[in-house]
Amino acid sequence: MNTTTTAREQKQKKLIEVPRLAVSKRFGIYKKEEKKAMRASDIVDNKALERIVKTWDEFDLDCITAWPSCYYRTALEITRNLGHGPKDIEKFSKFIRTFSRENMIATKAGVFLSALVNNVMGKRFTVHTHNLDFEIDHLGYGNTRRLTVNGNCGDLLGEEMKRGMILVQGNVGNEAGNEMSGGRILVRGDAGYEVGKGMKGGIIIIEGNVGDLVGGNRFEYSGDNPPMTGGKIIVKGNAGDGVGEKMQGGEIHIEGDIGSIGNVVHGLIYHKGKLVIAKYNLHVLSARSHYDLKDLESSYKSALAILKNVPYSSKDVSDLRLGYRMRFDLDSRDRQDGARDDSEEGIFISAAINQCADRVFVIETKERRLYRYERINNVGYRNTKEVRIVGSVGRQTGKLMKEGCIIIRGDAGDETGAWMEGGSLIVSGNAGSGLGAGMSGGCIKVGGNAGHFLGQGMRGGQIHVEGRISTIGDVIHGKIYHKGKLIVNK
């Protein structure tokens, strides 16, 4: 009986001594190291360290009711001009254990150390956490330096990291690399769930095992919970369930076992060196394309570059929906609904049509009445294919069209067929002003009425209008027919 009781007590004692991080994940590599006290004389003899400790005392999270980003900005401001260096930060990290009873110590320590590091132009920084009885959250927030952490870390390591490198000689908690846009994170141990959540760029390497939802997101998309959209995650150990859940870009490499793969919207997943998931979503790619209202050509080339080597079909192009871009535009969370220009979708769709191997496309626009814009602009920009549009379109449809055919079963806006060089453009309904403006070749046919300045600056080609013509512009060269009768021949 005594032997059994002793074994049970030893087991309970062992469970009590397991660090918090270890019980938060399935696996654990690094254990707590022996605590080593820091002498008070180390503070007194170091003026920079004295200023750091004084500033720490003034940094009160109780009076800040905001997100960690606000904590960090405050810490960044009050730690400027302290005259500290990498060695002072390293010594201070050992002294933090004396503040372990403070309110919100895990968050305070993380954002404060991050601000100290980013405020110094040193090359290498070291922080010690193995002597702490708690795990530091948000360490490496907004990191731009080379940081080494000797010991374990808590949640949100490298949050919103921009560049540089973070090396952790231990385990990390949940959501490591949250919304990071650049740099590299290397963890020698294990990591918790949602590694790389909201990641935009950079590389995360976990040499141990990870929890569930690596590269994934357990919440629905919102401004505060964005999905992974870029970068690369490499896990050399095992991964839990939901790998890549809701991810919209980037790569995930798992070298060990996978519990399960989640619902991937867009991105690549490799398992033991083999590509197992390759999903390409045109909605997501549309949100990534650069758009400049004043420079449609650069916007068009940006879309072509994004679509290069992406396998898709004419059906994928037909499934693109006006207004969907707003939902996936991760860099425009503060934009108001409708505060946009519908040339965005038109330019991207045009690039998708011309880049695709298919020849015939059907675009439905009649049900597209999202936000305050009702018509999509610039469809058929530099067109070379056969495009059938069901519904009305906005301005500059078929602009700079080279060849092929665009058939619009509805109305068309201003400057339809402007500067077109070849091909045919057929509108069953009415067309706006500036029809065929600047065109040098090809043929335009309108079944309904045409607006003002028909053929303005026209340098070639033909225009046929069956309905009423408001006014005819200054035609340089070309032919205009009205109800089958030639009325302009230059």
Q: What are the tens digits of pLDDT across the range 70-123? A: 899 999 999 999 999 999 999 999 999 999 888 889 999 999 999 999 999 888
Angstrom distance (rounded) from CA 434 to CA 420: 12
Question: Residue 43 — very low, low, confident or very high, per pLDDT cuts 50/70/90?
Answer: low
What strands lie across the sheet with 360-364, from one edge to the other?
Answer: 360-364, 386-390, 405-409, 424-427, 443-446, 459-465, 477-482, 485-489
For the segment 289-318, the average pLDDT, to the nearest whole number, is 86
Angstrom distance (rounded) from CA 8 to CA 298: 71
In order of 275, 322, 342, 379, 409, the CA distances from 370 in angstroms are: 37, 7, 11, 17, 20
Residue 345 has what pLDDT? Answer: 81
Amino acid identity of 311? P
Averaged pLDDT of the chain: 85
Question: Residue 226 — very low, low, confident or very high, per pLDDT cuts 50/70/90?
Answer: confident
Residue 227 has what pLDDT? Answer: 87
Residue 334 has pLDDT above 80, yes or no: no
For the segment 350-377, the average pLDDT, to the nearest whole number, is 78
Cβ atoms < 10 Å from Cβ of 130 = 18
Q: State whether residue 365 is helix, strand or coil.
A: coil
> Per residue in 175-219, pLDDT tens?
999 999 999 999 999 999 999 999 999 999 999 999 999 999 877
List, in sequence order, the alpha helices (H) in 324-395: 324-328, 343-355
Return the bridge partners of 479, or none.
462, 489
Pair 116, 89: CB distance under 8 Å: yes
Residue 472 has pLDDT above 70, yes or no: yes
Residue 325 has what pLDDT? Answer: 43
For the segment 165-175, the average pLDDT, to the nearest whole number, is 97
Comparison of pLDDT for 268 and 291, the residue scoring more = 268
Residue 162 has pLDDT above 90, yes or no: yes
For the segment 21-40, the average pLDDT, to the nearest whole number, is 44
